[in-house]
Structure 1
Amino acid sequence: MSDDVPTNQPTVTLPGGVALPLLGLGTWQATGEDAYRAVRVALEAGYRHIDTAAAYGNEAQVGRALADSGLPREEVFVTTKLRPSDADRAPQAINDSLAKLGLDYVDLWLIHWPIEGQASPPTWQHLRDARDAGLTRAIGVSNYSLDQLDELADASGEIPSVNQIPWGPTRNDPTLLAGHQARGVVLEGYSPLRNADLDSPVLKEIAEAHGVTPAQVALRWHIDHGVVVIPKSTREERIRANGDLFGFALSADELARVDALDQP
């Protein structure tokens, strides 16, 4: 590992004092040895947050990469997700995921999608039970609406700590972000570069000012807004570039200009 690997990446604190790094590697559609190599490269490049899911079919490869990295378990934040089809067997599903990952616990377990389009408080209770049993340090959801977050909170007295949804410069809603923040829910953005026009003159101009790429500007924009971002790639050069975000920051004016890319 090179001496310039960042070791003090910004984090957001979840309930229980769990520190979630604002930058992670997404592994959707990464399978087999591609998934293994992507995670190894990311960890070598300084990423300390890896996002997977039972539905991705790569938990075993992610776990092997984590083990082979030689990093202490507590230095890497690992997220996996419950398939909606496994909602009725959630207690077994978390154990299946842990077995594939080769871990005693994950740092974050999410409901991958609303169950049959519904918030499903009973499924949420399974996640709470898993957290209380020490199988995951934090719990949340993915692809939920604010109303569905509120439904879980009303039913259980506990709102999800994280909601992972599509997000990016061309798919951002300040009102939606504010709604998460008001509820104490961390917004985690996936497909950040799919939801960005990397040919945008705004991104290009800001990138040139900082000596970086438009993609790096789009990713840093998330971090400067306190939004967790998990870019996915299996290409070494892109993984390294996507992680090279800590030598610059966007000004308030630059943030506002990028915000406006999704406005009519």
Structure 2
Amino acid sequence: MVASKFVKLNTGALIPTLGLGTWQSQPGEVERAVEFALRNGYRHIDTATAYANEKEVGIGIKASEVPREEVFLVTKLDNPDHKNPEAALEYSLKALDTPYLDLWLMHWPAPMTKDGKADKSINWLDTWKAMEKIYKEHPDKVKAIGVSNVSIEFFEKLLPEATVIPAVNQVELHPSCVQDDLVQYCVSRGIVVTAYSPLGSTKSPLLSHPVIDKIARKHGVAPANILLSLQANRPGVTVLSKSVKPERIIANSKIIDLSDDEVKELKDIEKTLSFRACPPEWTGWGSLGFPGH
């Protein structure tokens, strides 16, 4: 396996394989983390309206003095915003203080009310069609559109109706949530996969797993580097690293090539330790099967 530095989207654009994620970062920390990451080589920043930090992310991008055109910026349509994607987009652009997004994702195929309940009056497929319309009519504002937390079953509903194939599907990926079938399904259809929670999220048991520790020692890096590198070694996959600590932001940027045997060992962890950091049941739509099934 060889880790990539960029992955080509179906739009022809290149997305940096390693990005800085901002989920769960505390207020006041995001701005500094984004600025530091950009000043130290990162060029892919991921946020979401649901994270309530778009304004800070925008400030951090400006403070870094890295030209906007050098930054691949991603944000996401929030679950309560399925009713009015166009207004949601304008909100994000204003909050981020940017004229355009490099990638705009549907955060979950799970419309919700403002009080956090499943909104059964909205079909998420209609939301996608609205995003397609915005993308076609406003190429100056949205360079690519995609989805997040979408399963094969959801894609089987989406793709026959889509006039724009999603550029990206952002999902949870790590050795205890490998999702090889989903990754292969997406890549075979020209859809790049972005891995979130590649370490298994906060206090993950993966960081002290003996197999990961063994491979990390062999390469002289931290377990986090192995977990990030696993995703970067998967064809058609990009990965989000999340930290607000300068030393960790720099350390996490070291992506290494893994052997096929090492990749297999890491993926085999799921056989004895399987979990999700962000299970889909919280949305009220049930599992990642099609809503209502």
Q: TM-score, normalised by structure 2?
A: 0.82
User: CA 1:41/1:89 → structure 2, altered by over 3 Å: closer, same or farther?
Assistant: same
Cα deviation, residue 173, structure 1: 2.6
Name stretches of at least 5 consecutive residues in structure 2 with no aligned partner: 112-117, 273-293
Is residue 99 from structure 1 mapped to residue 119 from structure 2 by the alignment?
A: no
Cα deviation, residue 215, structure 1: 0.9
Conserved 8 A contact 1:25-1:51: yes
Higher normalized contact order (CA 8 Å, seq sep 6+, divided by chain length): 2
Query: Which string of whole-angstrom CA distances, capped at 9 and with x for unpartnered residues, describes residues 155-208 of structure 1?
Result: 123331211111111111322221222222211111111266121221111111
Partner of residue 179, structure 2: 173
Partner of residue 46, structure 1: 41
Which structure's residues are more often helix, by fraction? 1
Structure 1 stretch displaced more, 114-123 or 199-208? 114-123
Partner of residue 254, structure 2: 244
Partner of residue 5, structure 1: none
- Aligned mates of 1:31, 1:102 — CA distance in 2: 20
The one-letter code matched in structure 1 to 2:175 is P
Partner of residue 182, structure 1: 188
The one-letter code matched in structure 2 to 1:229 is V
Conserved 8 A contact 1:166-1:191: yes
Query: Which string of whole-angstrom CA distances, capped at 9 and with x for unpartnered residues, describes residues 96-151 of structure 1?
Result: 10011111101000011113478622111222122221211111111111121232
Residue 247 of structure 2: SS of its match in structure 1? helix
- Aligned mates of 2:52, 2:234 — CA distance in 1: 31
Partner of residue 210, structure 1: 219
- Aligned mates of 1:53, 1:74 — CA distance in 2: 20
Residue 114 of structure 1: SS of its match in structure 2? coil
The number of residues matched between the two structures is 254
Residue 230 of structure 1: SS of its match in structure 2? strand
Is residue 85 from structure 1 mapped to residue 94 from structure 2 by the alignment?
A: no
Cα RMSD for the two superposed structures: 1.7
- Aligned mates of 1:240, 1:200 — CA distance in 2: 23
Partner of residue 255, structure 1: 263
Name stretches of at least 5 consecutive residues in structure 1 with no aligned partner: 1-8
Structure 1 stretch displaced more, 101-110 or 11-20? 11-20
Alignment of 1:152-167 (within 5 A): 152-167=158-173
Conserved 8 A contact 2:146-2:168: yes
Conserved 8 A contact 1:113-1:144: yes
Structure 1 stretch displaced more, 11-20 or 75-84? 11-20
Query: Which string of whole-angstrom CA distances, capped at 9 and with x for unpartnered residues, describes residues 46-91 of structure 1?
Result: 1110000011111111001111111111111000000121111111
Q: TM-score, normalised by structure 1?
A: 0.91
Partner of residue 201, structure 1: 210
